[in-house]
């Protein structure tokens, strides 16, 4: 559904996107991640026909983003991070205007406005001027516009920015539902959101794709973690020294509060110190109220691969 091949974008001497290639199959939600300045916004703007590339090609639904941009625009819904709206228009007027631009008939527009107002929770705000809406409500109006013409592909750039916790949960549910009927490219800095919503992830850093795969696959590539977290009651110097004496321990961080000592113990992935730590606390007579081994997260993998990319570029 989305095909990017050897895509490059330069701004003068600055290389924003460096010969990237990836494909997104029909259906599902794909996360597009990267630190600030990685090139992800430039990439999605090229896909949305907002700007041309310097070299390479990009196609959506079989249509070239450069030579067939009108066909591409009919098939995508694009929600940029800063939603461009007309503050003097009412929400209904704005959506009606956007429908006209897309060539929708009056009946199609009216039916679409009812549908998206319901899906994006705009009912009580539908006749309110956009300039009077909160940032979160404006984001919802922009999302309603993006899905109004029922596009094959949705490109969403930080869609939950400005929403309250309840709205964030509802929006994530909506995105998952949209992924059942559309191809969704989700650009987000919120890694737990990507883990909850996306079936596949593409990570870009310094203009290059550095990893692709499902969140679980990327966590597995990072490897199992040897970090153990424990909380026990005992003298901090003795607790910390005892933890450091365990076989295979590389690093111990300790903090105390309310009579409890919290430990973060780092060991190689093949070493599990939990059993030894439990035996030590039992022998010492220290109370133990937490003992767990931390698994790898998408955030761990993201930090690792982006740091490695930065090192290679130096």
pLDDT of residue 189: 79
In this structure, are 198 and 260 located in the same domain?
no
Which of 99-113, 162-176, 193-207 shows the lowest mean pLDDT across its residues?
162-176
**Alpha helices per DSSP H over 48-190:** 69-74, 91-101, 106-119, 135-147, 165-178
pLDDT of residue 196: 87
**What span, in angstroms and rounded, lies between the C-alpha atoms of 226 and 248?**
10
222 vs 279, residue with greater confidence: 279
Over residues 223-232, the mean pLDDT reads 78
In this structure, are 62 and 198 located in the same domain?
yes
In this structure, are 209 and 244 located in the same domain?
no
Closest CA to 264 of 300, 235, 226, 302: 226
In this structure, are 196 and 162 located in the same domain?
yes
In a domain, 150, yes or no: yes
In a domain, 313, yes or no: no
Question: 221, 243, 260: which is the final residue of a domain?
Answer: 221
**What span, in angstroms and rounded, lies between the C-alpha atoms of 29 and 42?**
20
Look at the block and give the residue holding tokens 């003298």.
Answer: 235
In a domain, 72, yes or no: yes
Burial of 117: CB neighbours in 10 Å, binned 0-12, 13-18, 19+ = buried
In a domain, 309, yes or no: no
pLDDT of residue 314: 60
In a domain, 83, yes or no: yes
pLDDT of residue 224: 54
Indicate if the pLDDT at residue 313 is higher than 80: no
Give residue 215's pLDDT band: very low, low, confident or very high (50, 70, 90). confident
* Direct distance between the N- and C-terminal alpha carbons of the chain, in angstroms, rounded to an integer: 35
Question: 165, 191, 221: which is the final residue of a domain?
Answer: 221
In this structure, are 147 and 256 located in the same domain?
no
What's the pTM?
A: 0.79
In a domain, 183, yes or no: yes
- Percent of the chain past pLDDT 90, that is, above it, reads 66
Identify the domain containing residue 55 by its residue range: 2-221
pLDDT of residue 307: 78
Indicate if the pLDDT at residue 8 is higher than 90: yes
Q: What is the CATH number of the domain that holds 53?
A: 3.40.50.300
In this structure, are 81 and 165 located in the same domain?
yes
Closest CA to 278 of 304, 246, 301, 307: 246
Over residues 100-115, the mean pLDDT reads 96
Q: What is the number of structural domains in the chain?
A: 2
In a domain, 101, yes or no: yes
Indicate if the pLDDT at residue 300 is higher than 80: no
Q: What is the CATH number of the domain that holds 241?
A: 3.30.70.100
In this structure, are 216 and 233 located in the same domain?
no
In a domain, 310, yes or no: no
> What 3-state class would DSSP assign to 30?
strand
In this structure, are 74 and 138 located in the same domain?
yes
Question: 196, 221, 246: which is the final residue of a domain?
Answer: 221
Indicate if the pLDDT at residue 267 is higher than 90: no
In this structure, are 34 and 173 located in the same domain?
yes
In this structure, are 37 and 97 located in the same domain?
yes
Burial letters for 239-248: b for 16+ Cβ neighbours within 10 Å, e otherwise?
Answer: bbebbeebee
Indicate if the pLDDT at residue 123 is higher than 70: yes
pLDDT digits (tens, 9 = 90+) for 42-58: 999 999 999 999 999 99
Indicate if the pLDDT at residue 226 is higher than 70: no
pLDDT digits (tens, 9 = 90+) for 178-188: 899 899 999 98
In this structure, are 21 and 151 located in the same domain?
yes
Residues 6+ apart with CB under 8 A from 129: 87, 88, 89, 90
**What span, in angstroms and rounded, lies between the C-alpha atoms of 57 and 138?**
33
In this structure, are 180 and 195 located in the same domain?
yes
As a whole number, the mean pLDDT across the chain is: 90
């Amino acid at each position: 559904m989305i095909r990017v091949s050897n895509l490059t974008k330069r701004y003068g001497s600055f290389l924003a996107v460096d010969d990237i290639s990836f494909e997104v199959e029909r259906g599902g939600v794909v996360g597009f991640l990267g630190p600030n300045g990685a090139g992800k916004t430039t990439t999605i703007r090229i896909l949305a026909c907002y700007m041309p590339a310097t070299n390479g090609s990009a196609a959506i639904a079989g249509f070239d983003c450069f030579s067939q941009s009108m066909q591409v625009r009919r098939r995508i819904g694009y929600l940029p991070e800063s939603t461009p709206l007309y503050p003097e228009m009412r929400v209904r007027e704005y959506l009606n205007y956007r429908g006209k631009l897309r060539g929708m008939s009056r009946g199609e527009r009216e039916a679409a406005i009812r549908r998206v107002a319901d899906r994006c929770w705009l009912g009580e705000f539908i006749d309110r001027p956009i300039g009077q809406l909160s940032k979160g409500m404006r984001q919802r109006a922009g999302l309603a516009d993006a899905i109004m013409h029922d596009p094959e592909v949705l490109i969403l750039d930080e869609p939950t920015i400005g929403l309250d916790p309840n709205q964030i949960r509802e929006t994530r549910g909506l995105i998952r539902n949209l992924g059942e009927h559309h191809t969704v490219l989700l650009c987000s800095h919120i890694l737990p959101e990507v883990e909850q919503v996306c079936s596949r992830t593409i990570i870009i850093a310094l203009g290059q794709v550095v990893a692709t795969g499902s969140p679980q696959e990327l966590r597995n590539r990072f490897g199992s973690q040897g970090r153990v977290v424990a909380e026990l009651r005992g003298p901090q110097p003795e607790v910390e020294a005892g933890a450091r004496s365990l076989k295979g321990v590389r690093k111990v961080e300790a903090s105390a509060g309310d009579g409890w000592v919290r430990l973060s113990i780092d060991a190689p992935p093949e070493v599990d110190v939990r059993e030894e730590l439990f035996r030590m606390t039992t022998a010492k007579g220290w109370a133990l109220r937490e003992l767990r081994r931390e698994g790898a997260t998408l955030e761990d993998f993201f930090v690792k691969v982006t740091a490695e990319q930065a090192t290679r570029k130096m």
